[in-house]
Amino acid sequence: MVKYSTGRLLNTREAAKFLRVSEASIRRWSDSGLLAARRVGRRRERRFHESDLQAFMQQPASSVAGAHTVNVGGGAVAVPGHLATLYSTDGGGMRLTVPFIADGLRLGQPCVLVATDAELKRYTDALGNRTDIGLGRALDSGLFTVVRFEGGTASEAIAEWERRLADTLAKGPAVIRIVGEMVSERSMFGSEEEMLRYEEAFEVMCRRYPVVVICQYDVRRFDGVALLRALKAHPDLFGFRMGTFLN
């Protein structure tokens, strides 16, 4: 683990490691004024105080009028929110997330699903059978989006999320609902370890945006060590009754 002195200025690479994001994210936040930085030397290179990075991590996301919480399983989840669920049956895996997406579509909130193959089919079948949301129209209009990452690294995936979220918010302020089926997401990375690093980085990145995210873990497909790391990467989960998120 890299240790940083509180009195030392960090360069862009070190700041990215500290926040567990890409260097492109650090440069983007610095250029936009979201992250305090100073310029040093003839080349005017960026330098960052660790205290500024810590303060940045604690800042709330941009507010969205009238949308401070989102209902998940009967509980009010603050925006931004990043939750993990554990399920052991296909039906259990749909108990929270299908209503979560359906409610978002009815409210006109952008919804994103990261899933492939069998996981994707379960969602399209379940959502397509509902007459209250108009899945086809939501797909055609871009209100509902299915995402697959091709980069294979945590930094590339985080950079792609930032582009997607910024593009969505450029169309107008909104709460963005995201469901990630982690069995599918694991196949999009070079290894399970890389996927878990991505989860840890996503926890930091998502705090900058008005999102509520549910990361779904099929306990039949992940071992205990991976599940423990996943839970640690979702601290919001511990503010709720755990039983709600065990399916």
Residue 32, pLDDT above cutoff 90: no
| 177 touches 100 (CB < 8 A) | yes
Helix, coil or strand: residue 168: helix
Assess whether the region 9-58 and the region 69-245 belong to the same CATH fold: no
Residues 5 and 213: their CA atoms lie apart, in Å, by 33
Tens digits of residue pLDDT in 139-177? 999 999 999 987 689 988 998 998 899 888 878 878 999
CATH number listed for the domain at residues 69-245:
3.40.50.300
Residue 187, pLDDT above cutoff 80: yes
Q: Which option is the CATH number for 9-58: 3.40.50.800, 3.40.980.10, 1.10.1660.10, 3.20.19.10?
A: 1.10.1660.10
pLDDT-wise least confident of 34-38, 44-48, 81-85, 90-94: 34-38
Residue 59, pLDDT above cutoff 80: no
Q: Is 169 exposed, middle or buried (0-12, 13-18, 19+ CB in 10 A)?
A: middle
Q: What is the mean pLDDT of residues 97-109?
A: 96
Residues 187 and 3: their CA atoms lie apart, in Å, by 32
Domain extents in the chain = 9-58, 69-245
Residue 93, pLDDT above cutoff 50: yes
Residue 99, pLDDT above cutoff 70: yes
Average model confidence (pLDDT) for the chain?
88
- pLDDT bin (cut points 50, 70, 90) of residue 1 is very low
Q: Which of 129, 130, 122, 151 is nearest to 216 (CA)?
A: 122
- pLDDT bin (cut points 50, 70, 90) of residue 22 is confident
Residues 236 and 231: their CA atoms lie apart, in Å, by 9
Q: What is the pTM of this model?
A: 0.78
Q: What is the mean pLDDT of residues 81-108?
A: 96
Helix, coil or strand: residue 62: coil
pLDDT at 64: 45
- pLDDT bin (cut points 50, 70, 90) of residue 60 is low
